[in-house]
Chain A
Amino acid sequence: GQQLNQSPQSMFIQEGEDVSMNCTSSSIFNTWLWYKQDPGEGPVLLIALYKAGELTSNGRLTAQFGITRKDSFLNISASIPSDVGIYFCAGQNRGNTGKLIFGQGTTLQVKP
């Protein structure tokens, strides 16, 4: 089945630093989404990407849909302590149920 590989698995950074994480797939997706999950909570949608090459921002977050449709990245600028959490990428295929395939997550820790 389709699998998504996220890297890095975890990051420990200083407050104010920029962060970059990415997600790759062995097969094509038609939609990429990025979620953030806090401990004990459900994932919260951050950004959705619908077209290859698309670059979308949401505040300090920027994400891009790779040209090959097999990858995506998420950047966080000027990190703050509340950015701490697990970030998941998810891929969605055209014309099926709309279900998502998730990566394993990138755990972000921010040192004040």
Chain B
Amino acid sequence: DTGVSQDPRHKITKRGQNVTFRCDPISEHNRLYWYRQTLGQGPEFLTYFQNEAQLEKSRLLSDRFSAERPKGSFSTLEIQRTEQGDSAMYLCASSQRSRGRSENGTGELFFGEGSRLTVL
């Protein structure tokens, strides 16, 4: 399978603990995105990387959240001192900047299956 893969699929943790999620994008894609989705809502943008550079962060990404993509391939999203409000599905997506028919070259985003976090 050459799609976006995320690990773990499910994580249950106690409030105050740290958690880390991993995302492996489609291999030829140079852009990687993290989104958060709560029940009944559409995904909300958190942050994005082009290669290893983190180029944008949403205001949703508090100081307790950190994302890395050290070699421009896989990415990790760490949440420190988790709170119950962090419970959500964390989605990773990737895209190829030059793919697609749009004039500016931004292409379609392909999502992984998500990592569901439950904070007790």
A98 touches B109 (CB 8 A): yes
Contacts of B48 in A (CB 8 A): 97-99
Q: Please report the C-alpha to C-alpha distance between residue A44 and residue B91 in the assembled complex, in whole angstroms.
A: 12
For residue A64, CB closer than 8 A to chain B, the reply is no
Partner of A100, one of B6, B100, B102, B109: B109
Partner of B113, one of A31, A42, A97, A103: A42
Q: Which residues of A55-112 have CB atoms within 8 Å of chain B's CB atoms?
A: 88, 90, 92, 94-105
Partner of B45, one of A31, A50, A94, A100: A100
B100 touches A48 (CB 8 A): yes
A103 touches B102 (CB 8 A): no
Nearest chain A CB to B84 CB, angstrom units: 20
B108 touches A45 (CB 8 A): yes
For residue B111, CB closer than 8 A to chain A, the reply is yes
Q: Indicate whether A50 sits within 8 Å of B42 (C-beta atoms), given known contacts A42-B111, A98-B31.
A: no
A50 touches B111 (CB 8 A): no
A45 touches B110 (CB 8 A): yes
Nearest chain B CB to A5 CB, angstrom units: 11
For residue B25, CB closer than 8 A to chain A, the reply is no
| A98 to B, closest residue via Cβ | B106
Nearest chain A CB to B67 CB, angstrom units: 14
Nearest chain A CB to B25 CB, angstrom units: 13
A45 touches B109 (CB 8 A): yes
For residue B101, CB closer than 8 A to chain A, the reply is yes
Q: Please report the C-alpha to C-alpha distance between residue A103 and residue B40 in the assembled complex, in whole angstroms.
A: 11
Contacts of A33 in B (CB 8 A): 108-109
Contacts of A88 in B (CB 8 A): 42-43
Q: Indicate whether A48 sits within 8 Å of B108 (C-beta atoms), given known contacts A40-B116, A98-B97.
A: yes
Instruction: Output the residue of B42, B50, B101, B113 with the most chain A CB within 10 A.
Output: B42
